[in-house]
Amino acid sequence: MSKQAETRYPIHELLASRWSPRAFADRTVAPETLGALFEAARWAASCFNEQPWRFIVATREQPNEFERLLGCLVEPNQAWAKAAPVLVLGVVKKTFAHNGKPNAHARHDLGLATGGLTVQASALELYVHAMAGILPEEARSRYQIPEDYDVVTAFAIGYLGDPDSLPGAASQQERAPRERRTLATQVFADTWDAPANFAG
Ligand SMILES: Cc1cc2nc3c(=O)[nH]c(=O)nc-3n(C[C@H](O)[C@H](O)[C@H](O)COP(=O)(O)O)c2cc1C
């Protein structure tokens, strides 16, 4: 199933073809492939080159470890994410290594690293579905995550599955068109809320 972005300007196919599925194929992701995804994340830009992101990965090939990570998600996310071959927690270091001060951009940089990983995933015909619906303190306790780190997101990775494998309304939702705000409401110039000339 394709949910290609409908764009006003042409964008790269790797970006246009990306979307967030809940149905994943029953197919493992090879370790070298996972390596390539996290290598892509590793080369993201970051404030002071702090690289504040940390990832915890679990695959369904190791059921106990997979359950440990699955239990860090809220129930509605567990319902579909349990069928993904790979689950990941996104964690940030809250302070800078060079001076110990709070890193206000750590979450930004985790997002950027995850974005790079997501583009690499598209190149490998994989899909990534991010989740804010997590249980951060459960994750902290299950993985003994130190106080200087925050668990921010989780994401599922896998090959595209059959929407009909999802229960009831979820299979219809999986087919729903993707929606976006217009460029004019997102990109301004000269003054607040005034669309840039290419965006209006
Ligand atoms: C930071 C973040 C948190 C998200 N949290 C959840 C979540 O907890 N559960 C879920 O099903 N989808 C979650 N999503 C997926 C979004 O709902 C999805 O990206 C959005 O609807 C746009 O759809 P698209 O990615 O298919 O274009 C999250 C996405 C992001 C980036």
pLDDT of residue 167: 86
Domain hosting 54: range is: 13-163+175-185
What does pTM read for this prediction? 0.97
Mean pLDDT of the chain: 97
Residue 4 domain-assigned (yes or no): no
Q: For residue 199, is it within any domain?
A: no
Q: Minimal CA–CA distance to 27: which of 61, 3, 71?
A: 61
Model confidence over 136-188: pLDDT tens digits?
A: 999 999 999 999 999 999 999 999 999 999 988 899 999 999 999 999 999 99
**Considering the domain boundaries, does residue 60 fall inside one?**
yes
Q: Note whether residue 170 is domain-resident.
A: no
> Does residue 197 sit within a domain?
no
Number of domains in the chain: 1
Return the residue whose CA atom lies nearest to atom 9 of ligand 1: 131
CA distance 162 to 183: 32
Identify the burial level of 102 via C-beta atoms within 10 angstroms of its C-beta, where 0-12 means exposed, 13-18 middle and 19 or more buried: exposed
Residue 182 has a pLDDT of 98
* Nearest 10 degrees: Cα torsion 121, 127, 133, 138: -60
| 131 CA → ligand 1 middle, Å | 6
Share of the chain above pLDDT 70, in %: 100
- pLDDT, residue 168, reads 86
> Does residue 19 lie within any of the structural domains?
yes
Residue 29 resides in a domain: yes
**Domain with 62 in it: what CATH number?**
3.40.109.10
3 state DSSP class of 57: strand
